[in-house]
Structure 1
């Protein structure tokens, strides 16, 4: 009888832990969705979507890169990324360049107009982030940084 109690207790604790982890995960993903949604809405003012902004950030960080690398980085399908790049190209914010060594490879790079739009959109993104993080004290922000650094290590 005692043995069954221990097994039950272990299963019960496992359920409690799983529930707690799930609650934390829901909070993290919920916050991410809220920030993305608010950013998307704010970026609409300047004619960009959240994913267009993220792709432009990747291009600025990495320079001229193959489309496949961007798709991998943001877990986008090739079709989804092509659609985003098409829209950015229509707005003259990026350009496609075929590889000289391998015609199958297409690179994407920011145009000068794209760099200017990215600077403008970064300010909007920082305002959105600020609206969330300004609710925290300096100590809470440091603690949040510490926790996320620990999770990423």
Structure 2
């Protein structure tokens, strides 16, 4: 069983590396890294978010997302906005000039991923989804066990 766990981990790493490489090559001319594209796309979809919300959505640590936000803020891609209700709360949102670019990035990534999936049969896609959901469930159950 140990070897199968290693195989799964290596497959996931390989898939992630390939997706990252392909997206990076595809969007090389836009001047954003893949993680920055993820930030921009997530903000486009959600309009404005706290760093903690953005971190959770991207499944990255607050410090990692905060560093990306700082870089994007320095480039005037995003801005920090204080909440009207609680001045201690800060939201992150796209600068107006980047909303159209964000929409294009979001649509391009969506098309890229859809093109990959369309090459497979419906049965294969369903099998992949079921397998990934099963793995996710196993990992979530593992997290519960360790928290006891």
Which bin holds the TM-score, normalised by the shorter protein?
A: 0.7 to 0.9
Runs of at least 4 residues off by over 4 Å? none
Q: How many residues align?
A: 136
Q: Normalised by the size of structure 1, how large is the TM-score?
A: 0.70
Q: Normalised by the size of structure 2, how large is the TM-score?
A: 0.72
Q: Indicate the structure whose relative CO is greater, using CA pairs within 8 Å and at least 6 residues apart.
A: 1
Q: Which residue of 1 aligns with 2:123?
A: 139
Partner deviation per Cα, 1:106-135 (whole Å, 9 max, x = no partner): 210123333211222124323543564354
2: CA distance, partners of 1:102 / 1:144: 44
Structure number with greater Rg is: 1
Give structure 1 stretches of 5+ with no counterpart: 1-16
Give structure 2 stretches of 5+ with no counterpart: 138-148
Q: Which residue of 1 aligns with 2:102?
A: 118
Q: Which residue of 2 aligns with 1:22?
A: 6
2: CA distance, partners of 1:123 / 1:64: 19
Question: For 1:70-81, what aligned pairs fall within 5 Å after superposition?
Answer: 70-73=54-57, 74-78=59-63, 80-81=64-65
Q: Which residue of 1 aligns with 2:82?
A: 98
Question: Once superposed, what is the RMSD of the aligned Cα atoms?
Answer: 2.6
2: CA distance, partners of 1:19 / 1:150: 18
**1:34 aligns to 2:13 (yes or no):** no
